[in-house]
Amino acid sequence: MPSLGVNIDHIATIRQARYREDPENPNVEPDPVAAALLAEKAGAKGITAHLRDDRRHIQDRDILRLRESVTTKLNLEMGVTEEILRVALEILPDDVCLVPENRREVTTEGGLDCRSNLDVLRPAVARLRGRGIRVSLFIDPDEEQVESAADLDADFVELHTGAYANAAGTDVERELQRLQSAARLAVARGLRVNAGHGLNYRNTPAILGLAGLEELNIGHSIVSRAVIVGLEQAVSEMCGLIEKE
């Protein structure tokens, strides 16, 4: 049965909307670390945070405090830049998920093009794994990308579920088939399988049967639900949905 990793970026987004220019204000809230601990209490098996190059939400100090506080697993999402690589190699998260990054995007828009960036990704993967950090590559459910991820000696692929989450009508089944094919190939190539992006309380059940699926990383939907029912209940509901299947 897959486990749930909760992405807390949007907790930091709410904080930064008001306190970006005044981080020392004693009224600064909400606290992403407090949210991470509540998510763990409610059943999350991991915490995900994306330290972006532009620091639009999660800050360096958040990652430091998360490393000190998270008792399940800390998964650091990051672009492949020397600055963020240095942070990862200093903080030593349990997992790193390498993602594409565009300053103009609202959220990650697609998967890494591993095939075209082997020369950039290979040394980054090697450096991270050399420090005992498990490495995941966030990729579209494309067979060439899976093959390239395997060639890079990654530990995991995280299949980008955005196209599936946004699909309608007959496209839903087509996107599910793409995910299933990519997951099967990943397992055959010795890769472990995670998935995430755009998943919510409606579309998650259908992907729980993906071959080798170990973890779902979900953020926006849980934080949105938390506005209504509270974070512990929102996380507990998602854990229950996953366990039910």
Of 40, 77, 101, 215, the active-site residue reads 77
197 belongs to the catalytic site: yes
Burial (CB count <10 Å: 0-12, 13-18, 19+), residue 216: buried
What count of residues does the chain have?
Answer: 245
- C-alpha 66/C-alpha 201 separation (Å) is 26
Contact 150, 156 (CB under 8 A): no
With b for 16 or more beta-carbon neighbours within 10 A and e for fewer, the 154-193 pattern comes to bbbbbbbbbbbbebeeeebeebbebbbebbbbbbeeebbb
Catalytic residue, chosen from 10, 57, 160, 197, is 197
> Is 77 one of the annotated active-site residues of the chain?
yes
Among candidate residues 10, 50, 57, 160, the one labeled active-site is: 50
Told to judge if 50 belongs to the known catalytic residues of this protein, a careful annotator would answer: yes
Burial annotation 120-138 (CB, 10 A radius, 16+ → b, else e): ebeebbeebeeeebbbbbb
Nearest Cα to Cα of residue 165 among 190, 140, 143:
140
Residues annotated as catalytic (active site), given as ranges: 50, 77, 197
